[in-house]
Structure formats: structure tokens, C-alpha cells
Structure 1
Amino acid sequence: MDSDLPIRGSKVAGARTASGEEKPILFGQRTLQHFEFDPTYRNLNHGSFGASTRDIRKKLHHYQDLAEASPDKFIRYEAPDILNESREAIAELLNAPTDTVVFVQNATTGVNTILRNIVWNEDCKDEILYFNTIYGACGKTVDYIVDYGLKRVSSREIRITYPCEDDEILAAFKAAVEDSSKQGKRAKICIFDTVSSLPGVRLPYEKITEACREAGVLSLIDGAQGVGMIETDLSAVDPDFYVSNCHKWLYVPRACAVLYVPLRHQALITSTIPTSHGYIAKGGERHNPLPKGNKSQFVNNFQFIGTLDTSPYLCVKDTIVWRKEVLGGEAKILEYIHTLAREGGKKAAQVLGTEVLDNQSGTMSRCALTNVALPLTPEEGSKALQWMEQTMMKDYSTFIPLFAHNGRLWARLSAQVYLDIEDFEWAGQILLKLVERVKGGDHTNA
């Protein structure tokens, strides 16, 4: 990968190839023109809420206008066909059969849909396995299933501490399965990330999926930080369940996520959340007032889930096409944001006089998130992180998630096509100013 990244405000027309030839800069400051950020705001936290482009937001408004112009015509008869085109587009991107993918509002909804549909064994031995770095809302979903599962299911945390190597993560999973069995339990399903939230690092989700298969454990991949940020081949990985937000790294308008359930498990997913017209009761089917546009019961179930604005779902194909035609396609995008995360993290750490979070093999950083250590002790920062986050928004018009892990304080930065090295250097400087203000006691006067 070429690490010669363009600098914000640079007058240089292009970067140089290895042979010295000039090549056009596709990304960085010039790409900001496609997004609708406030000119005074630097979005260094794409990983939380994503961002959509101006062109795709026009598409969104177009679909919303069609729904307003003739609600019954569009919602009943036209939207299902556009929805199927989006399903086909995302299925091709993920290398999955079209009839295995549907849309839900977000990854948390997808995880809830899977866990709330699974039937837990009456012998009360089933366990849900999860890593301690699980996303908070998904962790609370596990808690809810356990709390209100009539004691039929319990949970088991798999503890990992970063930095660590992939083999250590796999060993921790296998040890948890063994411990579950030794204690008279049964590991039923394991939830794990493609790229975790805090810290923002890549997990060996492909190998964990394989380990689940070998152990007879269902695999549920939380790819909230997935599609549009890392390459994903679902046919090759073959998980039991997978969900990924499209409104984050893919640039689809909020709120939209893809839910993948292979044909072998679709009979397990009997209801959407909430249950709607697609559900077929055991005692017989009630009248469905909406036309069925698909042969698949699974797809029909998710085609209409109450009255909500599904126009973001309809934008998925448009977004994938836009990324190809305007930005050059997935390979170019991923190469840039991965390189920027790696080089930008180093730049920010250099400013702070610290380091980035990574393992010796470098597998943790093969994504578009980077974690930079703060030059604060846990004692200094324990009461200051929330103040720092609020102050960076108020005084510096940006936001960077801050968190504690393994006895250190960290900042998570997101790399995107509209950012460049200068943004990461600037981020390091802002973080350094905040650290100096904490050391000076500013946070205690707030």
C-alpha cells in the first residue's frame, strides 16, 4: 500500500507512484465536497454514527417524496421491487445468496432478532458466549435474554486483554467452551465482532467462526463495524448469523443494517422485531393486507415491519453504485482508509508521545479504526474522560471517543476518505491540549 497520503490544504495536484509518475488524489480534503458536514466540524468519529453523501441523501429524499405523493402505490407495490434491488446489491457485495439477506434498522436490532428467536433447551444447560469487548447494547441484550429466559439460558464471558495475538483469542474461546462443558453447561451460541467498538480493533472473526463450527456452537457475527470498512466474504466464512450496519462505513443514510441468515437456519427466525404481517402462526395464517413479492417466507417476513421510513434501505444499491463510480470502488476505498488509520494513528501518537494499540503481527489494526494512548494515568483520567469529550465538542468542534483498557487511557480515531494525515496530526494536538488542561485541573472547575 502507498502510505504517501495527501495533506489537507496541500496545493500538490497528486501523489507520486513508485516510478515517480503523478497520480490523481481521490481522497482527503477534496472528498469533503460530497458530504454535508458543518465546515467548522471535523468528523473524526465516523465509527459511531457514520455519514451519508449529498448525492445519496438526494436519493433518500426522492424515495420519501414518492411515498408522500402516493403512499399506497409506492409502499405496497413499488418499494418492494426497489428493496429487492438493494438486497441483490448488498448480497453481491458480501458474496452471499440474495435470499439470505434482509434489512433491519441497525446491528443491535439484528442481534436482538437472532437471540429472541432462538429456542432455549428446557434442560436449562444452554449458554450464550461473548467476549468482554462486546458492544454495550448487545451485552445488555444478552443480560435481558438471561434475566427473562425462565432460567433456560445463562451466559459466559470470554475475557481478552489487548494487545494480544489472534491465537490467544482463539484459545480463550476454546477454553470457554471446555469450561462450559465441564460445568454441565452447553455452549449454544457465541457473539463476536468483526471489528470491536472500544477498543476499535479487528478480531479474527473468520477463525472464530471456524472454531465455532468445529465445536458445534452457533456463530453470531456482530459486524456493526463491517461492511464498507473491511472486505467480507460470507460464502467463504459461512457464519450461522451475521449483521452489519450499512449506515456507518458504507454511507447509506441512517438507519439501515443488513441481516444475513443462511438457508439452513431461516426456519429458526420466525418473527421480526416487532412481529408484523409476515409472521405465520402455528395455528394458521392471518390475513396479510400487503402483497407478497417474494417466494421466500424469510424475506417476506422482513419486507414490511410496521409503518416506518424504510427509504434508507432503498438507498443501498444507489450507495454501492456511487462508491464505485465516484470513489473508484471498494478496493480503493479500503486501501486508503486502512492506510490512513495505520499512518494517522502513528502521527497522532507521535504528537502525544505515546503509542498505538496493536499486536506484534499487526492483525488488530487491519481496519479503519486506530487507538492512541493518552499521556494520562488512570487516576488522572478516571474523572476527566467525560469532561474531555464534552470539552472537545464545545471548544474544538470535534468528537473522539475516549476509554480505559488494560490500565491505560485511549482515544479511538476513525479514518475516512474525507480525512487525511493532517487531520490526525490535528487530533493529536487537540488531545494534547485537553491532557494539559486536565493536568492543570480545568476539569475540576467545570
Structure 2
Amino acid sequence: MTIVYHDNPDSSKQTTTAKMSGTPEVPFGAEMRRKHFAFAPRYTPLNHGSYGTVPKSVRATHVALEAEVDAAPDPFISLDFYGRLAEQRALAARVLGAADPDEVVFVPNATTGTDTVLKNFEWQDGDTVLVYELVYGAVAHGLSWLEETRGVHVHVARPQWPLPDDELVATMVAAAREVQTTPGRRLRLAIVDSIISMPGLRVPYERLVPALQAEGAMVLVDAAHGIGHIDINLDVLRPDFLVTNLHKWFFVPRGCAALYIPRRHQPLIRTSLPTSHGFTPRRRLGVIDEDGETFTEMFSFTGSDDTTAWLCVQAAIDFRTNVCGGEAAIKAYCREVAQRSAAVVADIFGTEILDCPGSCIRDCFFANVRLPIELGTDDADSGSGSGKVSPEHAPRVVRWIKIRGERESGFYFQTWLYRGAWWWRLSGAIYVEVEDFRRGAEVLKALCERIRNGELARDPETGPLTA
């Protein structure tokens, strides 16, 4: 199969034609890590999902762009950047299944994209936003701000994961109908994920979007864990808004995210965040002002910043195609290594994987395994050597595990307390293998034993557990 990502056949510099063999240049796992990534030798990266990373080749492209802008800042930023950015946006739009590239703009991260939507709505009395309890923390804070400053109501549904997809959809639809039948309330917006961040869970967003739209809501898809992780086809899905980080799973340098706003909703988005040069005011002030620009130009320059990462989409595609063998090969390996590793880890811990029949939650690069820590019922149990820990000390437990794991063994563990149990979120990536997670599990099991023996309470870095 031959793939051409650019429409301009005359531009050899910006046109990539590659054979997708499905076979990586070197095997995925430790060998891929050594050859194509720049991790410190003592650090084993088991948490790609939080901050991502980039291959050496993409980093080289980024460094070259930074040198180019420093060599001639004015022409790079003022004359050339927008045209070059348009080419990269078109690439991202094509990967996301958006036929119209001007429905996709770049923002620094998914949080900025979501907040752009929330702060542009002209909220009215009774307007309600529907979310579930595992909505991303920054999004939850943005909604709290709306409650405090705009009087927006936030309705939180509480499906108890793991649960079958049918039950999740039914729960969210029932919540939407509850809002719509409450006097004085109107369901204005619903927010759903493609993949929930913590714990790492695939969501049947392809079903939730049309189901909630049918109940009268506009739907924003938080696909921070989207592009490069799961297949997205915007022209088929037709969400009202979607945001996805290119710097998590697609190997574009931080921070770069795509914000999808279909033309039918672009009039709702009056400004970028921050409001800057591309804004077209309805009433012009008595100052010199340029003519109004297009919707996409509003997002292209919001003030001086290093946005050279936004020009690295082609470099990421080149790596994924030429080195990794294409999207199918990447996705198959990352899903498999996460799920196989989870089985090994659960065996080492003597616990279980977060899962249930009829659910798609494990159809992704994440898996969640319960830690061997028992919850206590009161402060007397916490840190006493009883083997139990009070749930109120979860932040200290999480931080202690991160500190001790990284400093002592070169493992950074992403753990979380959810509904009465602690979970370790495993991130499958092309540069890790099952043996990495096996070694990490042995370290984490020992840390859990130390917690059960009361070491957490005696560690000065965590502070007193009774504080």
C-alpha cells in the first residue's frame, strides 16, 4: 500500500510516500527504545500516557526548526509560519478523518482546547453540562469555574466502572433525560472521553456521541488520548467538538493538540485563548486594527511562544510509517503489550485486572491492575503496621510510590485510588515490553509491602499522615 499525505505532488520536501510493510525497522520493545529514543539508561518508561515522548528523528526535526526560527525570527514567524502550519494541520485533519482541514486548528494541549469551547459559549440561565465522575481533573476545574462565574449547572453521572458498554450508554442517556425533564434546566453540553485518563479506560464514545446528541445535547469529545492511540473518523462521528493531543501518542513534541470545530459551530467560537491578533471584534475600538482574519488564523498566532512543535506532524508520520511499519502495526503492538503485561502483573500481585464482560475498556494501550494494599477504616489503621491504609491518605500513597519507585529503581508508577482500591495504570508503548513491566511489578510489590509495614508514615518526605 502506498500512502501520500500531501496534496502537492511537486513538493518533494513535504511529500512522503512510504511502503507500509507492517513490520518495524527494528523490533518493538527494548531494541526500539535503545535505537530510536533517548531515555536515560537507568529510567524504564512505563507511563507514556501522562506526558508522551518523541523519537530521536522527530526531536532532530524540532531542533532544526528552532534553529531556523532563531536564525531569522521575523520572516519565519511573520511571513512563513501560517502557510507551513496550514500544511501540518491538513495532515492532522487527514489522520483524524476530517475532509475539511479548516475544521481543525492547533492549540497547546487538550486542556486549552476544552477550555476554549467552555469559555466561548454564551451561557444562559438553566444551562447544564453533563459529565461523569471520571471526567479529567482540569476539565472538572474548568466546569467549577463556570459554576462560580456563569451560574452553569454541572450534572455528574456516576456509572461504576467497570461496566458493560450498554449499561454505560443507558446510564448517560438516563442522566441526559433527567436534566431535560428538570424544571428550569436545559442540557446544553455533554462531555465524554475517547479514553479516560485515570484509570486508563476505553470509552464507547462512538455510541455516546449520537446517543447524547439525540437527547438534545451538543457533545464535546475529550480525546486527549486519541490520535495515534485509537482510530478516529470525524466525518463519520460528527461530534460537535473534539480535542486530541498529538504529543501523547502520535509522537509530536509537546505541546501540540488538534481542536476540531466543524463549520456549523465555528460562529460559536468567538475567540482563541488568549484573545489575540486573529480576533474580529463586532465593534472596533478607536485604535489601528487590521482587517478581520479567517477562523483558522485566529488560532495560528496568539502571542509569542515556541510553536515549532506544531510543524512536526510530518516528521511524526514519517517515523510511524517508515520506522514502525504503519498505524496498524503500532496499535496492535501497544494494545498487546499492555494487556499481556497486565496479566503478568496481576499474577505477581495476586490481584486482578480492571475489566468486565461486554465492555471495551481494555481495547486501548492502557490496563489497570489492583495493587496489593488493603484499605483501613480509620486513622488508627493508617501507617501503624497493621497492613492497612486509610483512603484519606491516598495522595500521600500515590506520591510516595512515585518518589520511591523513581529514585530507588528508575520506575515512575502512575497509581490511583478508585472506588475502594488502588490501581496501577500500565501504558503500552512501542518501546516497552512485557519484561519491563514484570520488573516494575516486582519493585511496586515491594513498595506496597513497605507501605503495609508502616514505612509511609515514617517517611519525612510525605509529611505526617495525621496532618
What is the TM-score when the length of structure 1 is the normalising length?
0.90
Q: Give, in whole Å, the separation in 1 of the partners of 2:289 and 2:322.
A: 40
CA apart distance, 1:228: 0.9
The answer to whether the 8 A contact 1:224-1:244 is kept is yes
Aligned mate of 2:47, from 35, 45, 48 = 45
Q: Which residue pairs with 1:359 in the alignment?
A: 356
Specify the code of the residue in structure 2 equivalent to 1:405: Y
Partner of 1:198: 198
3-state DSSP class of the match of 1:443?
Answer: helix
The residue identity in structure 1 corresponding to 2:409 is Y
Tell whether the 8 Å contact from 2:58 to 2:312 is kept in structure 1 after alignment: yes
Aligned to 2:115: 112
The answer for the alignment partner of 2:13 in structure 1 is none
Secondary structure of the 1:258 match is: strand
Could you tell me which residue of structure 2 aligns to residue 215 of structure 1? Answer: 215
- In terms of mean alpha carbon deviation, does 177-186 or 368-377 score higher? 177-186
Residue 249 of structure 2 corresponds to which residue in structure 1?
Answer: 249
Q: Does the residue aligned with 2:318 lie in a helix, a strand or coil?
A: helix
Q: How far apart, in 2, do the equivalents of 1:126 and 1:85 lie? A: 38
Task: Work out whether 1:371 is the aligned partner of 2:368.
Answer: yes
8 Å CA contact 2:176–2:212 kept in 1: the answer is: no
Question: Which residue of the partner structure matches residue 126 of structure 1?
Answer: 127
Equivalent residues of 1:274, 1:305 under 8 A apart: yes
Partner of 2:414 in structure 1?
401
User: Aligned-residue CA RMSD in angstroms?
Assistant: 1.7
Return the alpha-carbon distance in structure 2 between the equivalents of residues 40 and 266 of structure 1: 48
- The aligned counterpart of 1:315 is 312
Matches within 5 A, 1:20-419: 26-32=27-33, 33-96=35-98, 97-121=100-124, 124-149=125-150, 151=151, 153-184=152-183, 185-284=185-284, 297-379=294-376, 380-381=388-389, 382=391, 383=393, 384-419=397-432
Deviation string 1:91-138 (CA, Å, 9 cap, x unpaired) is 1100102111010000000000000001112xx111011110011011
* Alpha carbons of structure 1 residues 385 and 284: separation in structure 2 relative to 1, 3 Å: closer
1:378 Cα deviation from its structure 2 partner = 2.2
Unmatched runs of 5 consecutive residues or more in structure 1: 1-21
Structure 1 residue 321 displacement after superposition: 2.1
Whole-angstrom distance in 1 between the partners of 2:371 and 2:258: 35
Contact (CA 8 Å) 1:45, 1:413: kept in 2 or not? yes
Residue 385 of structure 1 and its aligned partner are, at CA, apart by 3.0
Residue ranges of structure 2 left out of the alignment (5+ in a row): 1-22, 377-387, 460-467
Paired amino acid for 2:345: A
How many Å separate the matches in 2 of 1:427 and 1:178? 45
Q: Which residue of 1 aligns with 2:447?
A: 434
Q: In the alignment, is the contact (CA less than 8 A) between 2:401 and 2:413 conserved in 1? A: no
Say if 1:82 and 1:125 are closer, same or farther in 2 by CA, change over 3 A.
same
Letter in 2 for 1:119: E
2:10 aligned residue: none
User: 1:118-160 CA deviation, whole Å, 9 max, x = no partner?
Assistant: 1112xx11101111001101100000011101x2x21110111
3-state SS of 2:155 partner: strand
Shift of 1:344: 1.0
Helix, strand or coil at the partner of 2:172: helix
- Cα deviations across residues 339-393 of structure 1 (Å, max 9, x unaligned)? 1111111111111111111121351100001100011112224333322222111
TM-superposed CA distance for 1:56, in Å, is 0.8
Q: Which amino acid aligns with 2:246?
A: C
Q: Aligned in 2, Cα 1:209/1:277: closer, same or farther, shift over 3 Å?
A: same
CA distance in 1, matches of 2:250, 2:180: 40
Q: Tell me the TM-score normalized by structure 2.
A: 0.86
Query: Which stretch shows the higher mean deviation, 387-396 or 137-146?
Result: 387-396
Confirm or deny: 8 A CA contact 2:163 2:359 kept in the other structure: no
Given that 1:378 and 1:404 are in contact with CA atoms closer than 8 Å, whether structure 2 keeps it comes out as no
Q: What is the aligned-residue identity percentage?
A: 34
Structure 2 CA distance for aligned equivalents of residues 351 and 95 of structure 1:
41
- Per-residue CA deviations over 1:175-202 (Å, capped at 9, x if unaligned) read 1112112322111001111100111000
Query: How many pairs were matched up?
Result: 417
Compute the displacement of 1:23 (Å).
9.9
Distance 1:321 1:260 in 2: 23
SS in 2 for 1:271: coil
Tell me if structure 2 keeps the 8 A contact 1:85–1:317. no
Partner deviation per Cα, 1:251-295 (whole Å, 9 max, x = no partner):
111111000001110111110000001100011487566x99xxx
The residue type paired with residue 251 of structure 2 is Y
Q: What amino acid maps onto 1:239 in structure 2?
A: P
Equivalent residue number for residue 17 of structure 1 = none
Distance of 1:103 and 1:23 partners within structure 2: 29
The 2-side partners of 1:272 and 1:145 are apart by 17
Could you tell me which amino acid in structure 1 is paired with residue 107 of structure 2?
A: V
Partners of 1:271 and 1:391 in 2: how far apart? 44
What's the CA shift string for 1:208-231, capped at 9, x where partnerless? 101122112000000111111111
Aligned to 1:11: none
